[in-house]
């Protein structure tokens, strides 16, 4: 069963959280061109620090699923 990952807050300034993710699941943060900008293993109650990213549209890929989020300043 494929579950939908929820990214919040969206839009985000600095700390991006993922809901409905299995602990220790691998993720990739990619731009609209598919370039991998960050990757790692998501821990429960953790967040992805996106403060260094330019404003724009990005995706978090977890397995075959990708979820969109907007980075703002």
* pLDDT digit string, tens, across residues 7-62: 999 999 999 999 888 888 999 999 999 999 999 999 877 899 999 999 999 999 99
Q: What's the pLDDT score for residue 70?
A: 97
63, β-bridge pairs: none
pLDDT band at 2 (very low <50, low <70, confident <90, very high): low
Q: What's the pLDDT score for residue 22?
A: 82
Model confidence, pTM: 0.89
Q: Quick count: other Cβ atoms within 10 Å of Cβ 49? A: 11
User: Tokens for 1?
Assistant: 């069963």
């Amino acid at each position: 069963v494929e579950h939908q990952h929820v990214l919040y807050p969206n839009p985000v300034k600095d700390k991006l959280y993922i809901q409905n993710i299995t602990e220790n699941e691998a993720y990739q943060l990619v731009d609209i061109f598919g370039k991998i900008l960050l990757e790692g293993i998501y821990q429960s109650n953790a967040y992805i620090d996106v403060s260094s990213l330019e404003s724009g549209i990005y995706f978090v890929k977890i397995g075959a699923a990708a979820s969109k989020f907007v980075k703002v300043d």
